[in-house]
């Protein structure tokens, strides 16, 4: 199980947390990986940056933008899923 936490704190919310979560949910479904991913939201993860902060396992990515979620998923999530 891969834990993905998307920050919904005020800074990240303004940069598109909701859109990031929605696209991640779509990508997880497209890869039929619902049973492999635990996707949730969190208040400020303490890494406010240029984009939305997303934690995948212990790795923190502070600059995920809504139009960059597909690349992020392919590079940072998919390899952990083995799909």
What is the smallest separation between the CB atom of 13 and ligand FES, expressed in angstroms? 7
Q: 41 has which bridge partners?
A: 6
Is residue 45 a contact point for ligand FES (CB under 6 A)?
Answer: yes
Is residue 47 a contact point for ligand FES (CB under 6 A)?
Answer: yes
Which residues in the 6-35 window bind ligand FES by CB under 6 A?
Answer: 7, 9-12
Is residue 44 a contact point for ligand FES (CB under 6 A)?
Answer: yes
- Cβ 35 vs Cβ 82: under 8 Å: no
Whole-angstrom distance, CA of residue 38 vs CA of residue 76: 15
Residue 4 CA: distances (Å) to CA of 56, 58, 72: 5, 9, 12
Is residue 53 a contact point for ligand FES (CB under 6 A)?
Answer: yes
By CB under 6 A, name the binding residues for ligand FES.
7, 9-12, 44-48, 53
């Amino acid at each position: 199980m891969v834990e993905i936490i998307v920050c919904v704190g005020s800074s990240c919310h303004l940069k598109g947390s909701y859109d990031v979560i929605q696209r991640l949910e779509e990508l997880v479904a497209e890869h039929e990986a619902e049973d492999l991913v635990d996707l949730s939201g969190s208040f400020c993860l303490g890494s406010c940056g240029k984009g939305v902060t997303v934690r995948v396992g212990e790795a923190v990515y502070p600059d995920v933008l809504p139009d960059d979620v597909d690349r992020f998923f392919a590079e940072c999530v998919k390899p952990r899923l083995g799909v």
